[in-house]
Amino acid sequence: MQIFGVDIGGSGIKGAPVDLDKGDLAQERHKVLTPQPATPDGVADGVKQVVDHFGWTGPVGVTFPGVVTDGATIRTAANVDDSWIDTDARLLLGERLGGLPVTVVNDADAAGVAEMHFGAGRDRRGTVIVLTFGTGIGSAVFVDGVLVPNTELGHLELDGHDAEKRASSKAREDHDMTWEHWAVHRVREYLAHVEMLFSPELFIIGGGVSRKSQKFLPHIEGIKAEIVPAQLQNNAGIVGAAMRAAGH
């Protein structure tokens, strides 16, 4: 069975048909740049470009980098334009896609659902936290495999700042940090704070940095929880979006 998944990020909008039996992309993903400013109309146009690229005419799952309530309404928009707040994203995107059925889900929640079903969290019980490091930091918290939605742990306070302003992948690039410095002084500090609050058995590190995990994970010490890279890497959001659209 194939369902289309789209992952909206602060820098790019990417998508592809997903083979839900394998938990993998059925075709190579297509990506367009996220418009700046990332307004609802501009982003919806980007989603349409991605979907039209494949000539897709079925259900579409879409991730959003912020809190999504009732499967439609956007409540926060830290890394896209503030005009998204209170937008009915399901209605907007459905209309832009010519009436195709659309499901909208928080981006990290989508990535987490995919990792728990097909990836590094498969068959893991207890508390598992999936963290995606990119333009910001997304989070998905699972207790015995059940998602606690819209946790947004990237916005915890860390040293007087929004955590994602200090420890995201974008922060590493903006401040020209080495992988080791970022891991030891930013990521480890952040993980220690999250661990103090939630005491998870497992951290799964996703987002674009997951494919470069060997550059930073070995430098993170002193965390009691097991720390592993996401197996689906940066495709987890697309897969999770499709899973949600299929009712998983």
Query: pLDDT grade, residue 159 (50/70/90)?
Result: confident
CA distance 38 to 24: 28
Helix (H, G, I), strand (E, B) or coil at 151: coil
CA distance 76 to 236: 21
DSSP class of residue 34? Answer: P
pLDDT digits (tens, 9 = 90+) for 208-228: 899 999 999 999 999 999 999
- CB half-sphere exposure, 44, CA atoms < 13 A: 18
Among 85, 88, 167, which residue's Cα sits nearest to residue 131? 167
pLDDT of 188 reads 98
Average pLDDT, stretch 143-163? 95
pLDDT of 208 reads 85
pLDDT digits (tens, 9 = 90+) for 170-200: 999 999 999 999 999 999 999 999 999 999 9
For the chain, what percent of residues have pLDDT higher than 70? 100
pLDDT digits (tens, 9 = 90+) for 23-57: 999 999 999 999 999 999 999 999 999 999 999 99
Give the Å distances, CA to CA, from 182 to 28, 89, 204. 31, 35, 17
